[in-house]
Amino acid sequence: PEATEKTALEKEWAEYCGVKHCIVTNSGTSAMHACVAGVGVETGDEVIVPAFTFWATAQAVLCQNAIPVFVDIEPVGYNIDPAKIEEKITDRTKAIIVVHAHGLPCDMDEINAVAKKHGLKVLEDAAHAHGAVYKGKKAGNLGDMGMFSLNGTKNLPGGEGGFVTTNDPDYYEKARLTCMFGEKTVPKENIRPYDAYTMGNNYRPVEMTCAFVRSQLKRLDEYNAKRLVNVKYLSDELGKIDGIITPVDPSDRTNAYHIYRLMLDPRAAGYPDVDPGDFRWAVQNALFAEGVPVMEWHSFPVPGQSIFQKLDAYGKGCPWNCGHARQGIKYDSNDYPETQEMFAASFVLYNMYASNGLELMKYYVDAFHKVFDNLDDIATDPKYYKRVRASV
C-alpha cells in the first residue's frame, strides 16, 4: 500500500529544512543509524562523537561495527569543542557527529572546515534542534546528513519517530536501504523482488504518526517562538541573581531551546568554600521543595557508561577487538573535564514549551529568589547535598 502521509511528510520536512531528500523513520535512534550507514561508515572505522549527548548518538556508530571516539565540549554552550576535534582524528576516522545540544547549533563553520581538511563527513544529531538556525540555514542542512527525533518530548512531537535529511542522492539511497530491509526501491507498478542488497532494518514509521506530525509541523514555528518568549524572560530575570549562569545566545544562530540548562557558581553567590556539586544539589533540592521541575539530564560523560568501560557491545569484545579496529582504545571520563564540570554544577529546567506562558515562568523566578535569599540556611547545610531524583 502507498504511504501517502509518510510521503507528504518527507516532502514537507525537506522543504522546511531546505534539503533535497528526507526519510521518515520510526525513531530518532534509527534515523541516526541510517545517517551513519548512509555516509558509508564500516567495520573498524572511527567516528567522532561529543562526550555529552544521549548515548544513542554513539550507539548508532556501534550499529555499524564502528568505533566511537569522544571529544570534550565547550565550557559554554555545551556543544562539541571544534578546537579539540583534530587531535582525535586518525587514519581510520570516517565522520564527525555533531550534537546541537539542547537546541543550540554547533560552531558549524569551524567543524566543517576541519572535516573538509581531513576528508570527513559531518552528521548532525539535531534531535533537540527542530527549527534551530545557524547563519540563515536550518539545522538538518548544516552538514552531509542530519537526523531528528519525533519523540513525544521534542519540539516537534510525534509520540515516536525520526527524520533523516540530506542533499546527497547516494547518501539518501544508502540510508533508505538501511531503513527498508536492505531492499532497493522499485516502481509501484512492479512486483517487489524481496532481494536484500545489504544489511537493513525495519525502520519504517506508521501512517498515523506521520499524519499527526504533519499537523504539528504547522505549529512548530509558533510554538518555538513561545518557547523563546519564556526563555528570554527567565534568562533576563535569573541572570540578575548572583551565582546563576544562564544559557548563551550567540547572535549568529537561533536556539530551539528543547532544554534550558542553568549553571551554578558558588563563588559568585558568595560561597567560595562550598563544592560546586554540593552547591548545585543544595539549590536543586530546595527548588524541588518549591515545586520547580529542575533535574538532571544525564549525569556523567557517555564514555563513562558501562558498555564503553567493558568494551563489549555484541559479546566477545566486539567491535573493539575486531581485526579491522584500531587496538588499544580506552575510555576514561576524566579525559572530558568540561563535560564533568557541567554535570557537577548544572541542572535543567523543564516546561519551557507552549502552552506554558509567563505566569508559570514568573512562579519559577519567584521560587529561585526565595531559595537564593535563604542560601545561608541552604548552601552550607549538608542535609541539602543529598543526590535525589526530582519529585514534583
Helix (H) or strand (E) holding 341: helix 337-345
Residues 27-37 pLDDT 10s: 999 999 999 99
Banded pLDDT at 175 (limits 50, 70, 90): very high
Do 15 and 156 share a domain, yes or no? yes
Structural contact between residues 309 and 334, judged by C-beta atoms closer than 8 angstroms: no
Please name which of 336, 253, 285, 270 lies closest in space to residue 84, comparing C-alpha atoms: 336
pLDDT of 384 reads 82
Please name which of 110, 148, 137 lies closest in space to residue 23, comparing C-alpha atoms: 148
How far does CA 267 lie from the centroid of its chain? 30
Q: Does a structural domain hold residue 390?
A: no
- CATH number for 224: 3.90.1150.10
- The total number of structural domains in the chain stands at 2
Do 139 and 282 share a domain, yes or no? no
| pLDDT over 80 at 292, yes or no | yes
Mean per-residue pLDDT over the chain, rounded: 96
Do 259 and 353 share a domain, yes or no? yes
Please name which of 365, 361, 339 lies closest in space to residue 352, comparing C-alpha atoms: 361
Task: Retrieve residue 294's grid coordinates.
Answer: 529542575
* Mean pLDDT to the nearest integer, 254-263: 98
Between the alpha carbon of residue 256 and those of residues 101, 214, 344, the distances in Å are: 10, 19, 24
CA 377 to CA 290: how far, in whole Å?
A: 15
Q: Which of 185, 218, 251 is the last residue of a domain?
A: 218
Do 182 and 284 share a domain, yes or no? no
Do 194 and 238 share a domain, yes or no? no
Do 175 and 270 share a domain, yes or no? no
Query: What are the two backbone dihedrals, phi and then psi, of residue 50, each rounded to the nearest 5 degrees?
Result: -70, 150
Q: Does a structural domain hold residue 374?
A: yes
Residue with cell 514534583: 392
| pLDDT over 90 at 189, yes or no | no
Do 175 and 122 share a domain, yes or no? yes
Residue with cell 523513520: 25
Do 352 and 366 share a domain, yes or no? yes
CA 391 to CA 61: how far, in whole Å?
A: 34
pLDDT of 154 reads 97
* Mean pLDDT to the nearest integer, 125-149: 99
Task: Retrieve residue 97's grid coordinates.
Answer: 557527529
Structural contact between residues 184 and 196, judged by C-beta atoms closer than 8 angstroms: no
Q: Does a structural domain hold residue 311?
A: no
Q: Does a structural domain hold residue 359?
A: yes
* Mean pLDDT to the nearest integer, 164-168: 99
Do 119 and 102 share a domain, yes or no? yes
Banded pLDDT at 391 (limits 50, 70, 90): very low
Q: Does a structural domain hold residue 310?
A: no
Banded pLDDT at 389 (limits 50, 70, 90): low
Task: Retrieve residue 125's grid coordinates.
Answer: 544529531
CA 130 to CA 103: how far, in whole Å?
A: 8
Task: Retrieve residue 102's grid coordinates.
Answer: 539542547
What is the DSSP-derived secondary structure letter of residue 268? T
- Buried b / exposed e over 25-41, threshold 16 CB at 10 Å, is bbbbbbbbbbbbbbbeb
| pLDDT over 70 at 203, yes or no | yes
CA 57 to CA 101: how far, in whole Å?
A: 12
CA 232 to CA 152: how far, in whole Å?
A: 24
| pLDDT over 60 at 11, yes or no | yes
pLDDT of 234 reads 98
Q: Which of 218, 235, 253 is the last residue of a domain?
A: 218
- CATH number for 169: 3.40.640.10
pLDDT of 188 reads 79
| pLDDT over 90 at 259, yes or no | yes
| pLDDT over 50 at 392, yes or no | no
Please name which of 109, 154, 108 lies closest in space to residue 128, comparing C-alpha atoms: 154
Do 89 and 156 share a domain, yes or no? yes
Q: Of 181-185, 213-217, 316-320, 374-378, give the lowest mean pLDDT range.
A: 181-185
Structural contact between residues 160 and 152, judged by C-beta atoms closer than 8 angstroms: yes
Residues 65-110 pLDDT 10s: 999 999 999 999 999 999 999 999 999 999 999 999 999 999 999 9
State which residues form the domain around 78.
Answer: 4-218
Q: Does a structural domain hold residue 361?
A: yes
Which region, left, alpha or beta, applies to residue 87 given φ > 0 means left and ψ of -120 to 50 means alpha? Answer: alpha
Residues 265-279 pLDDT 10s: 999 999 999 999 999
Q: Does a structural domain hold residue 22?
A: yes
Q: Of 35-44, 184-193, 270-279, 344-353, give the lowest mean pLDDT range.
A: 184-193
Q: Does a structural domain hold residue 326?
A: no
| pLDDT over 60 at 1, yes or no | no
Q: Of 7-21, 153-167, 193-207, give the lowest mean pLDDT range.
A: 193-207
Do 130 and 90 share a domain, yes or no? yes
Residue 46's CB: how many other CB atoms inside 10 A? 22
Do 76 and 152 share a domain, yes or no? yes
Banded pLDDT at 338 (limits 50, 70, 90): very high
Q: Which of 218, 253, 279 is the last residue of a domain?
A: 218
Please name which of 214, 211, 203, 138 lies closest in space to residue 176, comparing C-alpha atoms: 203
